[in-house]
Structure 1
């Protein structure tokens, strides 16, 4: 069932990125959701992130290690998340907890106060499967572009 959902998403994503060449935030969010496990209450956090990816204005993925990532759904729209140069997360005793902790959006504007956004849910991501799916999408996109250019169409 999960494979069917991924295949359907891949077909839709290819149609969507045929003109832009890039997945939209909502398409990326669906891809990440397809590789997310059941919600958990919290995760261990050592004070720094290995990376993060915005997935629209109410979700993001954070990497705590190169092979460990979490899908964070926020309680509402988080202003400027798509444009933020940096983010932070609050934690208590080395744990980030759903319903309690927040993502802090660091704006690039001097004098602007950081914007806190409450974490509504946390889901572990299957990083290996997510990377494989992203590679499949990239390969399929390159193949579709080559076929399109070979037929002389736009």
Structure 2
């Protein structure tokens, strides 16, 4: 048995590096999720009905990704972050407070997606270097899906 490999046959050092990046992604998703919940609860104005539903759709998707990322960290042999204090310190996404209009909530959501996409592309390179097909597939799927969502939200805003 090769002692430089973890239980799924990946280089321990590369798996550790990848798990660290995935923990940053996990923290960012947690803040993204909470931002979306706040937008869902607090949206006001003529676009209320459609955006209330859209934000619910987006936060339901985010919560699934949170679980998948945490489980991937565990699969790599590491511990996922699991406290809000760690999420706040580690996230690349900032908390969004007191936003209730369509433009500011959607602009913030688009900026958050951009942040997630950049981070996921960085992690994809690390996963490819590690030969970690599980993480590659996960990240590739997220990127593809989110690029389409960004396109649709941008079209909605006429950007």
Give the TM-score of the pair, scaled to structure 2: 0.29
Give the TM-score of the pair, scaled to structure 1: 0.29
Of structures 1 and 2, the one with the larger relative CO (CA 8 A, separation 6+) is 2
Q: Which has the higher helix share?
A: 2
Q: Which has the higher strand share?
A: 1
